[in-house]
Amino acid sequence: MRRGDRRVHGGALGKAALEEQPGPPPPHPNGGAPGAERDGSGHRRSTESEVYDDGTNTFFWRAHTLTVLFILTCALGYVTLLEETPQDTAYNTKRGIVASILVFLCFGVTQAKDGPFSRPHPAYWRFWLCVSVVYELFLIFILFQTVQDGRQFMKYIDPHLGVPLPERDYGGNCLIYDPGNESDPFHNIWDKLDGFVPAHFFGWYLKTLMIRDWWMCMIISVMFEFLEYSLEHQLPNFSECWWDHWIMDVILCNGLGIYCGMKTLSWLSLKTYKWQGLWNIPTYKGKMKRIVFQFTPYSWVKFEWKPASSLRRWLAVCGIIFVFLLAELNTFYLKFVLWMPPEHYLVLLRLVFFVNVGGVAMREIYDFMDDPKFHKKLGQQAWLVAAITATEFLIVVKYDPYTLTLSLPFYITQCWILGIILVLTWTAWRFFIRDITLRYKEIRRQKQEHRHEKDKCLSNGDRHSAPLDEPNGNRPRERKL
């Protein structure tokens, strides 16, 4: 479905209109443009912003399927007819694989189904959907190789890979002020201020924009630090100083990123979503502002996860947190088992990939949870992200089972067992014991009210029957006789 297909007279549909719908929604009851997202009943949900769109459909929004097909055919014809094929098997294999991926991306960008996002352009999100498919196929290929072949295969991507590299140990001397170093007693702090500090901040800023909930972000942030504590005997770079864990990571980098993300979410929720065609704006300042706003959301949905409202939502939120933490751990374990240095460009590309697909996946998961009658199946991007996370973990399990099976220290095991027991106890109390108790109290209250009303009716009936018996004189006494 393309942008021209979802336009209606006097307005445009919102992000949810990018999903396939049986028909156009009814006009807004308040007379506004039907640009806001709607649920399965045709009404806009209370957590969604209202959108006004003049319905301009320009060249920028058209599908261009024939144009892309013509350019692709010309490029393939040039390679076939005018370019001489080199006599290098390895080079031809690489070029053939890259060409196959590019043809698939061209098909997906023009023909794949749109997702929930439409800015800056639906084709942008279709591109990342196709990249997700390519990445998942690559992971499946690596999974089916032997450990040695899989590591050596990375040399085809970068000749510098395939060599075991030592991990950097972030622990060691944890003194904030080191009196033994007279030239720079704060050298431990400066050593930790590397390129990963701004990466932590921007990473959590973007994660907050994906999750859109302060509590969930803080839980994931703190839980990951506990995971680093628990797994530092497996990966050396999990060994960090206490102030690196809780001050630099949780409070400064992660906390500041979450704070800035929540401020951005507040601005996006209050922003007016009124769109005009670029050529319908008279001033140059307005045109420039419209170009900049093209990179902001078309409309906005406030996420209300409500994990304690039902057992289904509680399990879903726990599953989201689990997959989030597993994807974070995969970043470190994949580097370890595939022998990739932390600063390698493939590590950065993977993070960029998850930044682009994570937001779409979270939106599709929220729609599936919030309105299962309308969104009857999990979204395509959310499905792929879950599959990619699971496949990455399976690669780690296959390539280095020894590291994963290193037993946890006894006190770490005790802490995790205690935490799991507390979570299970709260779950049983909140969704089973508490509900049974409340249901019992409600039934008991209803019975008491019913008994009180019955007694009241009987007393009222005796009071009304006495005057009726007076005109009959001695009829009750006659009955007794």
Distance CA 208, CA 260 (A): 9
Q: What length is written for the chain?
A: 481
Could you give the CA distance from residue 273 to residue 51 in angstroms, rounded to a whole number?
A: 5
Q: What is the pLDDT along the chain (481 residues), one digit of tens a residue?
A: 444 444 333 343 333 333 333 444 443 433 333 444 444 444 556 677 788 888 777 777 777 899 999 999 999 999 999 888 888 888 899 999 999 999 999 999 999 999 899 888 999 999 999 999 999 999 999 999 999 999 999 998 998 898 887 656 556 667 777 777 777 767 677 777 777 788 889 999 999 999 999 999 999 999 999 999 899 888 888 888 888 888 888 898 999 999 999 999 999 988 888 888 888 888 888 889 888 888 989 989 989 999 998 899 999 999 999 999 999 999 999 999 999 988 899 999 999 999 999 999 999 999 998 877 777 789 999 999 999 999 999 999 999 999 888 888 899 999 999 999 999 999 999 988 888 888 888 888 888 888 878 777 877 765 554 444 444 455 444 444 3
Q: How far apart are CA 388 and CA 328, in angstroms?
A: 12
Q: Which residues contact 362 (CB under 8 A, 6 or more apart)?
A: 210, 211, 212, 303, 320, 382
Distance CA 190, CA 311 (A): 47
347: which 2 tokens?
């590590």
The residue whose two tokens read 């032997």 is 146
Q: How far is 278 from 34, CA to CA, in rounded Å?
A: 20
418 Cβ contact list (under 8 Å, min separation 6)? none
pTM, entire model: 0.80
